[in-house]
Amino acid sequence: MKKCVITVVGKDTVGIIARVCTYLADTKVNILDISQTIVSEYFNMMMIVDMSGSTKNFDNVNEDLNKLGEDIGVVIKCQREEIFDMMHRI
């Protein structure tokens, strides 16, 4: 299993979850866990995903998510689980 952590942050607008999840479904990225909240008009979502069955490699998915974030006015970060774990180990 190739797990990644995806975070989405920005001003809340209609359709953020739909757009991100539709992209992931279209590229065969499986969402294993998802959490989202809105605090004072700011949207925050964190997902753990499995990229094992993805039709695109990590770099392509990361680039596509960056572009999608720009299109919908949020910041989307995608990190490999092992790198995310190492960065937050201390």
User: In this structure, how many other beta carbons lie within 10 angstroms of the beta carbon of residue 16?
Assistant: 21
Calculate the dihedral angle through the C-alpha atoms of 65, 72, 12, 7, rounding to the nearest 10 degrees: 10
User: In this structure, how many other beta carbons lie within 10 angstroms of the beta carbon of residue 74?
Assistant: 22
DSSP-derived 3-state class of residue 89:
coil
Task: Write down the H helix ranges in the chain.
Answer: 16-26, 58-72, 81-87
Task: Report the alpha-carbon distance of residue 76 to residue 88 in Å, rounded.
Answer: 18
**Whole-model pTM?**
0.89
pLDDT digits (tens, 9 = 90+) for 29-70: 999 999 999 999 999 999 999 999 999 999 999 999 999 999
Bigger pLDDT: 62 vs 84:
62
